[in-house]
């Protein structure tokens, strides 16, 4: 080693020793300070200057996007179901007016047929309407408008029907042309694409259903047969009737509720035509019915205003000549940049998934679970009214059947319609409060699929317990209607379980059906199939439950029908295990792979 190298080596070694010594002293200094002062974590300047990541704002009703569009869809749902709910209040009496010689049993049979005619026709046409909604020549808005206006026409037909056959025809016509439920669900999904908003956005449909269920029967009952209900207004020598009364209301005593429904539906159709935006991608930008009506109005106005008027003058040819300076105008830099940006936008793919490819495993499982769900919902609505109206078990009746608890017993509650309506109205309001308050938070915590699966389990509990209401101690002896604290407590328990389950499962079933669609191009078709399945099983549910209930009364087991429906709901719980929340776009068609990569 040379002398210079040795000197450099010693200098580097001394520097290293000095650096270690300084570092050790600094460590002792920091350790001594840390015993008296809290530790301070230093961060690089670039990290300390970076602002903290903001937390996403909680989802509220006011944070929902496109509230105007959702309001129009909600309005459509309310008035679409209002005509069904209002008819139930006076349907028995309108059918009685067609033929006074019919027995109550015959009228009950006709009432079931009249109700089933609407849903059966919906079942037959739901899928074709879904295909029209997915077609470029059709669209969502077109199907919704046709459904609203066609249902309004059917309301007019039912209003002025003079026979049972005419009423069935017009109800069938209304159901066949009414594809609104699936279309409204589709448009809600396409207006609110972020899943974090789905728990509230899809809730507007059950809320509209509950609002119509609450006010529809009230409206129908108040407006039915107004000549007898309000003789001072419509009867002879009345304010509006004159000396002989309002003749058309005397001839058609049950026309007024359906006339009001037709007005509501026509008003809703006008709002939809002028305010609702088309959501089908291939139809966006095309002039809709509202624009078409504005153009017709403008043409009529131009034809009315003479050409010599100072309000109208012909443009000089230079202003619209195709060979004028407009086409020869040179593009500026900003204009060229805008055109270049437009050219960079991805091309919209208009391919449609073939019908045979939409039947994925998740679609089939979702439809199966929905079939069980709609069957037991339709069965419950029919069975509940039958059970409450069935005469009570009377131990003093010599013809009474034998009773062997806990399964062999019979009898209902023998309640009057006013008492049934009171209980249903109160719990209907509770159901709406649950939808506005508890449902969104629990659904966001559990997730859509888990909420659906967990709360389905409440249905069999409600149905299994329901027949035991007839055993609750009553303050009034039979054959009077059951009354008292224990009776109403048991009613509230059953309805609370059923309404809570319905509150959580109805909107989540809509979301799961929407998200199981394998491709956006068949979303309308999926909702059409869902509406078809729903209509079919809500039609057969009351038929089977009524038959089971009659058989149970014959064998002295009033719980026979209830427990069979509980079994069906258990099958629905099992089928729901295989349902998962899809993405709505699980199948990629040709040309879509590049879009997903980018």
Can you give the pLDDT of all 598 residues of the chain as single tens digits?
444 444 444 444 454 444 444 445 544 544 444 444 444 444 444 444 555 656 666 667 677 788 889 999 999 999 998 888 888 777 767 888 888 887 655 766 677 778 778 888 888 888 888 888 888 778 889 999 999 999 999 999 999 999 999 999 999 999 999 888 888 888 888 888 777 787 778 788 888 877 887 788 778 878 888 888 788 787 777 777 667 777 888 888 889 999 999 999 999 999 999 988 888 777 766 655 545 555 555 666 666 655 544 544 444 444 434 444 433 444 444 344 343 444 444 444 457 778 778 788 888 999 999 999 999 988 887 788 778 777 777 777 666 666 677 877 877 777 765 565 566 566 667 777 777 778 878 887 888 889 999 999 999 999 999 999 888 887 787 777 777 788 888 888 888 898 889 888 988 888 888 888 888 777 778 878 887 888 888 888 877 887 788 788 888 888 898 999 999 999 999 999 998 887 777 776 666 666 555 5
d(CA 205, CA 185): 8
Q: Which domain holds residue 477?
A: 355-598
Q: Are residues 112 and 247 in the same domain?
A: yes
Residue that terminates a domain, selected from 221, 256, 275? 275
pTM, rounded to two decimals: 0.65
- Please classify residue 62 by burial: count the beta carbons closer than 10 Å to its beta carbon, then call 0-12 exposed, 13-18 middle and 19+ buried: exposed
Sign of CA dihedral 148, 150, 155, 156: positive
Identify the pLDDT of residue 56: 63
Domain for residue 29, yes or no? Answer: no
112: exposed, middle or buried (Cβ count in 10 Å: 0-12, 13-18, 19+):
middle
Say which DSSP state 71 is in. Answer: H
- Cα 351 to Cα 329: distance, rounded to the nearest angstrom: 37
Do 360 and 265 belong to one domain? no
Each residue of 113-130: b (16+ CB within 10 Å) or e?
ebbbbbbbbbbebbbebb
21 lies in a domain? Answer: no
Same domain, 444 and 587: yes
Both 404 and 523 in one domain: the answer is: yes
Task: Assess whether 250 and 359 both reside in one domain.
Answer: no
Residue 565 lies in a domain: yes
Rounded to an integer, what distance in angstroms lies between the CA atom of residue 467 and that of residue 384?
A: 10
- Predicted confidence at residue 210, as pLDDT, reads 79
Residue partners of 289: CB distance under 8 A and separation at least 6: 141, 142, 145, 273
| Any domain includes 457 | yes
Comparing CA positions, the residue from 360, 362, 356, 372 lying closest to residue 533 is 372
Residues 271 and 371 in one domain: no
Place of tokens 């300076």: 325
Q: Which phi and psi (to 5°) does residue 452 adopt?
A: -65, -45
> Which tokens is 244 given?
């002989």
Q: 371 and 270 in one domain?
A: no
Here the CATH number for the domain that contains residue 102 is 1.20.1250.20
Residue 584 lies in a domain: yes
Nearest to 596 by CA among 350, 586, 192: 586
CB neighbourhood size of 87 (10 A) = 26
The answer on 361 and 265 residing in a single domain is no
Residue 256 to residue 259: CA distance in whole angstroms: 5
What per-residue confidence (pLDDT) applies to 569?
94
In a domain, 47, yes or no: no
**Domain-located, residue 552:** yes
Regarding whether 374 and 260 lie in a shared domain, the answer is: no
| φ/ψ of residue 223, rounded to 5 | -95, -10
Q: Name 242's bridge partners.
A: 238
Where is 320: in which H helix or E strand? helix 317-320
- Please tell me the total count of domains within the chain: 2
Domain boundary among 252, 275, 298: 275
Please give the biggest Cα pair distance in the chain. Answer: 137
Q: Give the chain's length.
A: 598
Kindly state whether residue 286 falls inside one of the protein's structural domains. Answer: no
- Tell whether the torsion through CA atoms of 261, 75, 366 and 456 is positive or negative: negative
Q: What six digits make up the tokens of 22?
A: 């300084």
Structure tokens at 533: 């399945």
Q: Could you tell me if 361 and 217 lie in one domain?
A: no
* Contacts of residue 363, Cβ cutoff 8 Å, sequence gap at least 6: 516, 517, 518, 526
Residue 5's pLDDT is 47
Query: What DSSP element (H or E) covers 171?
Result: helix 164-177
Phi and psi at residue 482, to the nearest 5°: -65, 140
Same domain, 554 and 432: yes
Last residue of one domain, picked from the residues 245, 275, 305: 275
261 and 399 housed in the same domain: no
Q: How many other C-beta atoms lie within 10 A of the C-beta of residue 386?
A: 17
């Amino acid at each position: 080693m040379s002398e210079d190298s040795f000197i450099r080596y010693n200098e580097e070694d001394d520097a290293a020793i000095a650096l270690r010594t300084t570092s050790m002293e600094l460590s002792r200094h920091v350790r001594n300070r840390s015993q008296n002062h809290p530790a301070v974590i230093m961060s690089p300047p670039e990290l300390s200057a970076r602002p903290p990541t903001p937390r996403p704002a909680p989802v509220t009703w006011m944070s929902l996007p496109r509230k105007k569009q959702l309001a129009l869809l909600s309005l459509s749902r309310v008035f679409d179901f209002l005509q069904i709910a209002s008819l139930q209040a006076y349907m028995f009496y309108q059918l009685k007016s067609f033929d006074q010689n019919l027995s109550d049993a015959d009228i009950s049979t006709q009432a079931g047929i009249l109700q089933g005619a609407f849903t059966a026709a919906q079942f037959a046409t739901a899928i074709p309407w879904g295909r029209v909604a997915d077609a470029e020549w059709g669209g969502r808005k077109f199907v919704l408008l046709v459904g609203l206006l066609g249902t309004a026409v059917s309301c007019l037909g039912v209003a002025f029907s003079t026979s049972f056959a005419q009423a069935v025809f017009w109800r069938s016509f209304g159901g066949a042309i009414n594809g609104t439920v699936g279309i409204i669900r589709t448009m809600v999904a396409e207006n609110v694409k972020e899943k974090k908003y789905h728990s509230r956005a899809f809730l507007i449909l059950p809320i509209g259903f509950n609002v119509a269920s609450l006010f529809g029967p009230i409206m129908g009952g108040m407006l039915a047969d107004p000549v007898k209900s309000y003789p001072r207004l419509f009867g002879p020598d009345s304010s509006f009737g004159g000396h002989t009364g309002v003749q058309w209301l005397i001839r058609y005593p049950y026309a007024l509720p359906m006339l009001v429904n037709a007005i509501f539906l026509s008003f809703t159709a006008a709002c939809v035509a002028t305010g609702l935006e088309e959501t089908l991608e291939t139809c966006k930008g095309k002039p809709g019915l509202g624009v078409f009506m504005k153009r017709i109005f403008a043409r009529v106005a131009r034809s009315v205003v003479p050409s010599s008027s100072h309000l109208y003058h012909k443009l000089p040819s230079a202003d619209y000549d195709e060979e004028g300076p407009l086409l020869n105008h040179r593009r500026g830099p900003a204009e060229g940049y805008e055109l270049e940006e437009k050219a960079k936008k991805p091309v919209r793919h208009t391919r449609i998934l073939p019908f045979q490819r939409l039947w994925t495993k998740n679609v089939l499982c979702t439809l199966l679970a929905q079939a069980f769900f709609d069957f037991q919902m339709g069965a419950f609505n029919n069975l509940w009214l039958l059970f409450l109206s069935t005469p009570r078990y009377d131990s003093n009746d010599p013809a009474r059947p034998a009773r062997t608890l806990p399964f062999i017993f019979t009898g209902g509650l023998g309640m009057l319609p006013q008492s049934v309506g009171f209980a249903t109205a109160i719990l209907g309001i509770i159901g709406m409060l649950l939808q506005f308050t508890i449902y969104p938070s629990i659904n966001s915590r559990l997730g859509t699929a888990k909420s659906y699966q967990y709360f389905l389990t409440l249905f069999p509990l409600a149905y299994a317990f329901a027949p035991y209401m007839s055993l609750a101690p009553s303050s009034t002896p039979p054959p009077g209607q059951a009354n008292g604290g224990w009776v109403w407590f048991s009613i509230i328990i059953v309805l609370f379980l059923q309404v809570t389950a319905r509150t959580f499962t109805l909107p989540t079933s809509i979301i799961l059906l929407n998200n199981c669609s394998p491709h956006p191009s068949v979303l309308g078709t999926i909702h059409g199939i869902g509406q078809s399945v729903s209509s079919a099983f809500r039609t057969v549910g009351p038929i089977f439950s009524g038959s089971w209930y009659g058989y149970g009364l014959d064998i002295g087991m009033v719980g026979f029908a209830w427990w069979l429906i509980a079994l069906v709901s258990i099958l629905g719980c099992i089928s729901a295990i295989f349902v998962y929340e899809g993405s709505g776009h699980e199948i990629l068609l040709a040309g879509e792979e590049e879009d997903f990569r980018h």
